[in-house]
A and B are shown apart, each in its own frame.
Chain A
């Protein structure tokens, strides 16, 4: 099991708000699934926030980047699970998806960049690089721009978990 980012538990005891479960192959039949899922979940979890529209838009943007990363980089078969939880004003998103060793290493490298001292520099480099962005750009953005805490972990069933904890508004009702 990969050591998570400090303070993030890969098995949080928080109650589930929403849990979506689908086959990774079905998910990857259409790019717009990322947008649809992120928009749907964002709307569902935003109703009791201080400013539901602003929160929903930020949440959707963050979740979409995570889903796009998984869409591009994942193992060949198995379930994709998306579980969202909340503790006060901390929102926790956990994506669990099939991942072979090569896939896991991609995320391992990306998370190392996010949690490194020069994440902001790496983010700007990736943002203005000539090559099209890879999975790390969205994760770097979450870490640098959204102040998200990110972690990964290896599951025994051949899947991996990608966890993000975000604070999208200062005070919630």
Chain B
């Protein structure tokens, strides 16, 4: 439902399956009675609920004290009038005021709990935030940039544009964008505070100014609609269990006529000679391992379908192969070594794999490194690049 007489659109939804009532948008009413429609819907919703009633305010961007006072009163009435009911409020760390403000509800009743939705957002976030992984991320960007620098032009990126790099990670791609394309505005957003801290330090060390690094949830961004000429999101749909939600947000912040650019992998297509069979087996297992953690490292060629289903026009897709012949083969080998450490280390252990499996799994990475460093060898890592235009 939408209450369009409010300052900005304010919406609420109820998911009966999850017993969750969600509030979205901006809520700054002059009088509490402006919320009557919403409260009626909440009462109807809670009538169908037993046990725990979830109130989700993760996408509630603004709320004044008139609204909070009314909502707090309503939630207290609920738990006081229904002995069988408790209420859990879920806030977002992205909206600075929300957790602090709603936390006071816990002081009023032990049947009300409040928690901040955060870490579980990206299934792989704890893996990629590992400090050891920063080196590999930087090397990966170095290897892919030599290809993407030209591809970005072909996909429509030009100097002077308004650009957003969503899921910017440690921000090195944004630095390269800033240097090469000199955008009028460059916002780089990520959901990892430690990565953003690193990104800001690197930008400061390199004397790079003008990149606006912001903390945010790619599936629920505070960025306003229709802002950017070019939106990039690299290697990220694959680490998210609902990539269509991110695409929806990329679409929203892109200007009509602007383009959204995504890159993704299909890890089972990594290859190498010699020792191709061992390499192939391991990368097929990588895909299964990621699937276990609700991530799809095979999403690369599916990018076209995702963009078309997301409402984009003029969708173009292609692929490039990062190889050991792109420069120093040791760079390629370093990337694979880091994959081995992560995939055949922390992730395989967390899945509970046997020592025998891990040994064979790790050998495929070693063989890939062997192929990369072999004087007559060839090793490749394919990446799919797709972009689509938001209709005018």
* A residues with CB within 8 A of B: 31-32, 34-36, 47, 50-54, 57-58, 60-61, 64-65, 68, 124, 127-130, 132-133, 137-138, 141, 145, 168, 173
Contact = CB atoms under 8 A, between A and B. Distances in A.
Question: 6 nearest interchain CB pairs?
Answer: A31-B30, A35-B7, A53-B214, A58-B96, A53-B222, A32-B7
Contacts of A127: 65, 68-69, 72, 104
Interface string B173-214: 000000000000000010000001000100010000000111
B76 A128 contact: yes
A16 to B, nearest CB: 24
B32 interface: yes
Contacts of B212: 47, 52
Given A61-B64, A137-B69, 8 more contacts: A53-B189, A57-B97, A61-B62, A127-B65, A128-B72, A128-B73, A132-B31, A168-B96
Interface of A is mostly: helix
A145 B101 contact: yes
B61 A57 contact: yes
Contact of B32 (A53, A64, A68, A132): A132
A52 B69 CA distance: 28
Report the contact-size class of chain B (Cβ under 8 Å from the partner): 35 or more
Contact of B62 (A47, A51, A57, A173): A57
A34 B104 CA distance: 25
A120 to B, nearest CB: 10
A124 B101 CA distance: 11
A82 B104 CA distance: 31
A168 to B, nearest CB: 8
A35 B26 contact: yes
A133 B107 contact: no
B264 to A, nearest CB: 26
A57 B96 contact: yes
A51 B213 contact: yes
A130 B204 CA distance: 51
A168 B212 CA distance: 17
B8 interface: yes
Contacts of A124: 104, 107
Nearest to B200: A50
A66 to B, nearest CB: 11
10 contacts: A31-B7, A36-B7, A50-B200, A53-B189, A54-B94, A61-B64, A61-B96, A65-B64, A68-B64, A128-B73
B28 interface: yes
A133 B65 CA distance: 8
Contacts of B8: 35
B317 to A, nearest CB: 31
Contact of A52 (B7, B61, B76, B214): B214
Contacts of B214: 51-54
Contacts of B392: none
A133 B62 contact: no
Nearest to B212: A52
Contacts of B65: 65, 68, 127, 133, 137-138, 141
B306 interface: no
A64 B28 contact: yes
Given A64-B28, A68-B64, A53 B7 contact: no
B97 A132 contact: no
B216 interface: yes
Contacts of A68: 28, 64-66
B73 A57 contact: no
Given A64-B64, A128-B72, A137-B69, A35 B101 contact: no
Nearest to B61: A57
B69 A57 contact: no
B30 A51 contact: no
Contacts of A52: 212, 214
B25 to A, nearest CB: 12
Contacts of B213: 50-51
B108 interface: yes
A133 B94 CA distance: 27
Given A34-B28, A51-B213, A64-B64, A132 B69 contact: yes
Interface in B65-84: 65-66, 68-69, 72-73, 76
A53 B97 contact: no
A42 B76 CA distance: 32
